[in-house]
Amino acid sequence: MYSNIHATVVGSINMDMILNMPKVPGTGENVLGSTYGYANGGKGANQACALAKVGAKVKMIGKVADDANGKKLIENLKNNNIDVSDVATDGSQTGLAAILIDGDGKNRIVVYEGANAEIDPVKAVSAIRPDTDLLLLQFETNEDVIIACVNHAVKNNITTVIDCGPAKNLCLEKMQGATILSPNESETQALTGILPADEESILQASEILQKRSKAKYIVLKLGAKGCSLWDGKELKLFPPYKTNVVDTTAAGDCFTAVMALEYIKNGDICNACDMGNKAGAIAVSRMGAENSIPTVQEILQMH
């Protein structure tokens, strides 16, 4: 379905340490966990795997260290048919995320960026394939990389989607002109000071984001409320699909990747938001980051 699309992801690659517990600890509290495990993660790598799983041809640009986690993560990207020829391996330490999941499937994530913060902006730009149809970026690298890549993409008319995770108030004014800017609720709050809780606050925040970023579309990921689309004229809300929430980790990554591909394929941003909602709903019904990514068949069967 998306096999003609060449996508490039410039972003993070992390080892995720996932701990499940009935209730996350408060300050000074010590709680017992129920299970734990390690999984491949990082917002960039999750989005690259989601693009590849639904059939796109994917190149990943990023950085790990020459350590055990770095080797495992690169091997995994290769196994997903992702071109890793421009993933550098000379970082200080491979990125790590500690993910705490409570009994309701809600997560709290601490990320040690390590090598992800050491990506060289000049090298990243020169590694972007000239024939790429889609450039996908997140905030889990250093700001200079994002600025350089967006500016390059805008100059070269490459459709660019910025996923604004994790929550950081980066200088959107220096990364203007992307096709789609897509933060979740807490990321929207970090960027605008407004928590998108109802139609009025969604509109206010979207207007600020568009003014600052000059992105064509602002797509807010609203968790259990679905997503919203602002094109500068009209606000549209897309209700969520009903699902059993097990773990919300990487649901936003699946949403962004599928929404971006669907937009490239048909140029229909409304349909793209709906497809993103379907992918996100399937992802939250499963444990893990990359493990929770749905196939195209699963997305098309969702209703």
In the complex, which residues of this chain contact ligand RIB (CB under 6 A)? 12, 14, 16, 41-43, 46, 97, 109, 111, 140, 249-250, 252-253, 289
Query: Considering the complex, what minimum distance in angstroms separates the CB of residue 217 from ligand RIB?
Result: 21
Select from 151, 174, 148, 179 the least CA-distant residue to 163. 179
Question: Which one from 86, 133, 253, 274 is the annotated catalytic residue?
Answer: 253
* Shorter beta-carbon distance to ligand RIB: residue 118 or 140: 140
Query: Considering the complex, what minimum distance in angstroms separates the CB of residue 18 from ligand RIB?
Result: 9
Query: What type of residue is 145?
Result: V
* Shorter beta-carbon distance to ligand RIB: residue 86 or 140: 140
Tokens for 209? Answer: 């984001």
Categorise residue 23: left if φ over 0, alpha if ψ from -120 to 50, beta otherwise: beta
The phi, psi pair for 195, rounded to 5°, reads -85, 120
Query: Considering the complex, what minimum distance in angstroms separates the CB of residue 4 from ligand RIB?
Result: 27
Q: How far apart are CA 54 and CA 255, in angstroms?
A: 12
Q: Which residue is nearest to ligand RIB (CB)?
A: 41
Q: How far apart are CA 74 and CA 26, in angstroms?
A: 35
Catalytic status, residue 253: yes
Answer for the pair 67, 94: CB distance below 8 angstroms, yes or no. yes
Query: Considering the complex, what minimum distance in angstroms separates the CB of residue 13 from ligand RIB?
Result: 9
Query: Considering the complex, what minimum distance in angstroms separates the CB of residue 198 from ligand RIB?
Result: 25
* Shorter beta-carbon distance to ligand RIB: residue 140 or 185: 140
Contacts (Cβ under 8 Å, ≥6 apart) of 191: 164, 169, 170, 172, 183, 205, 208, 209, 212
Select from 298, 294, 288, 302 the least CA-distant residue to 37. 288
* Shorter beta-carbon distance to ligand RIB: residue 141 or 228: 141
Q: How far apart are CA 118 and CA 61, in angstroms?
A: 12
* Shorter beta-carbon distance to ligand RIB: residue 12 or 213: 12
Q: Is 288 helix (H, G, I), strand (E, B) or coil?
A: coil
* Shorter beta-carbon distance to ligand RIB: residue 97 or 158: 97
Query: Considering the complex, what minimum distance in angstroms separates the CB of residue 207 from ligand RIB?
Result: 26
How many other C-beta atoms can be found within 10 angstroms of the C-beta atom of residue 12?
30
Residues with catalytic function:
253
